[in-house]
């Protein structure tokens, strides 16, 4: 049975992008040594990538080739995507998507991108684990790691580890489904 996971970086003050949606601050940390937690290792265990429309639009503007040709890619949106950048599917009903993802048995599911969709999955009890890479940068504002929705939870810490260049990896379980 697939786990539904998050894997995301945030600034020390809790933002994932600057007020103008830039990730330049994060790109300065490209090449940092994350050891066994490196993205290239992580993505090998992922069969399905789920993202919101904002994340898809951000990726579609990037001139790089579509990065998720090896995975099933699903964009959660209520608007049609006229000329998709890569092979992808769309869904608009989050509870139905969660049910669909829970039935998969061919690899884990990654909630890619911002905290809005991750929060929707947490509110539905469907985000099993999250890895948060806290980068030693203070952005002073921007897109928060998680939007303020009033949702409360007490995730269980699986591990905390200092990695390269002052970055700290926090790994939490949000459900007991796979414990």
Which residues, other chains included, contact 2 with Cβ-Cβ below 8 Å and sequence gap of 6+? Answer: 47, 48, 101, 102, 104, 105, 106, 107, 108, 109
pLDDT of residue 132: 97
In this prediction, residue 114 has a pLDDT band, given cuts at 50, 70 and 90, of confident
DSSP H or E segment with residue 16: strand 15-17
Which residues, other chains included, contact 73 with Cβ-Cβ below 8 Å and sequence gap of 6+? Answer: 48, 49, 51, 86, 87, 88, 89
pLDDT of residue 134: 98
In this prediction, residue 177 has a pLDDT band, given cuts at 50, 70 and 90, of low
pLDDT of residue 127: 96
In a domain, 120, yes or no: yes
pLDDT of residue 137: 98
Residue 178 has pLDDT above 70, yes or no: no
More confident residue, 51 or 115: 51
More confident residue, 178 or 37: 37
Interatomic CA distance for residues 134 and 13, integer angstroms: 9
Which range marks the domain in which residue 141 is found? 4-173
pTM above 0.75, yes or no: yes
Which residues, other chains included, contact 88 with Cβ-Cβ below 8 Å and sequence gap of 6+? Answer: 56, 68, 73, 74, 75, 81
CB distance 103 to 82 below 8 Å: no
**Mean pLDDT, residues 152-156:** 95
Token representation of residue 129 = 């684990």
Give the pLDDT confidence of 83-111 residue by residue, as tens digits: 999 999 999 999 999 999 999 999 999 99
pLDDT of residue 79: 95
**Mean pLDDT, residues 146-174:** 96
Number of domains in the chain: 1
Residue 166 has pLDDT above 70, yes or no: yes
**Mean pLDDT, residues 115-137:** 94
Give the pLDDT confidence of 56-88 residue by residue, as tens digits: 999 999 999 999 999 999 999 999 999 999 999
CATH number where 98 lies:
3.40.430.10
**In the beta sheet, which residues pair with residue 109?**
4, 48
In a domain, 179, yes or no: no
In a domain, 89, yes or no: yes
pLDDT of residue 2: 87
In a domain, 165, yes or no: yes
CB distance 101 to 127 below 8 Å: no
């Amino acid at each position: 049975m697939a786990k539904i996971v998050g894997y995301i970086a945030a600034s020390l003050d809790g933002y994932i992008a600057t007020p103008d949606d830039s990730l330049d601050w994060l790109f300065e940390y490209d090449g940092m040594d994350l050891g066994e937690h490196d993205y290239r290792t992580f993505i090998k265990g992922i069969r399905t990538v789920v993202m919101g429309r904002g994340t898809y639009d951000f990726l579609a503007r990037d001139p790089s080739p579509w990065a998720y040709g090896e995975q099933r890619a699903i964009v959660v949106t209520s608007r049609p995507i006229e000329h998709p950048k890569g092979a992808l599917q769309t869904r608009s009903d989050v509870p139905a998507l969660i049910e669909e993802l829970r039935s998969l048995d061919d690899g884990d599911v990654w909630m890619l991108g911002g905290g809005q969709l991750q929060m929707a999955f947490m509110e539905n009890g469907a985000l099993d684990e999250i890895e948060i890479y806290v980068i030693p940068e203070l952005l002073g504002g921007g897109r928060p790691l998680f939007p303020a929705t009033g949702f409360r939870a007490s995730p269980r810490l699986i591990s905390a580890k200092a990695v390269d260049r002052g970055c700290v990896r926090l790994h939490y379980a949000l459900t007991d489904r796979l414990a």
